[in-house]
Amino acid sequence: MNHLFLRAILQPQRNLQLSRASITQARDQTNGQVEMELKALEDDMAHAFDSKLAKLRDLHCFLLEKAKESAQECFDSLNTVMFQKREEANAVQREYMRKRKECSDLDAEISRKKAKLTRIVTTEHFLADLTSQLGKLEEAVTANQDKVDSLDSRVDSCQEDIDHCIEEIGACDQRVADAEEDISVIQQELLGQDM
């Protein structure tokens, strides 16, 4: 009888202890599961960050390479145009010098004809003939002078083309500088993300 009474008294306390043990066990299991889920989430976030960083680095390398290729193509194209314009300018200059020599030769011939006219005064027919030749020579001089003026204009045009090419090279240099600045900004952002 006393045994049953004592058991009836102690049974609630034992049930309470069992409940506390169950709660502690459940809490430990829950904490362990939460820690595992947190660890898995941290691993996923770290993997996602590494993947994003790798993509940004690849993008940075791609943009840098494209900027270099674009700048090189621009330089090559402008250098080719400048070389062609210089060749054209040299050809025009040579033609200009040739025409100037022709004009000088014609001027010398006119001078010789005038000297001859001053010495020969014996017949009017011969004088008239020389005068006619002189007129033709003067017309030739005038025609050649017009050609020289045209060549002067072409030389000026070629010089303007060369100046324009130089301005385009300056603009290309500015584009390269802008691209390098953009690359520097991307590098700073990547360094900030690494930290």
CATH number of 67's domain: 1.10.287.1490
Yes or no: say if 67 and 178 are a contact pair by the CB < 8 Å rule. Answer: no
Work out how many domains the chain is built from and give that number.
Answer: 1
What predicted TM-score, i.e. pTM, was given to this entire model?
A: 0.33
pLDDT tens-digit map of 152-163: 777 777 788 777
Q: How far apart are CA 124 and CA 14, in angstroms?
A: 159
Compute the distance between CA of residue 117 and CA of residue 120 in angstroms, rounded to an integer: 5
pLDDT single digits (tens) 42-81: 777 878 787 888 888 888 888 888 888 887 887 888 888 8
pLDDT level of residue 1 (50, 70, 90 thresholds): very low
The first and second tokens of residue 160, run together, are 């303007």
Q: What is the pLDDT of residue 78?
A: 83
Instruction: Pull the structure tokens for residue 78.
Output: 């402008």
Look up the domain containing 79 and give its range: 2-194
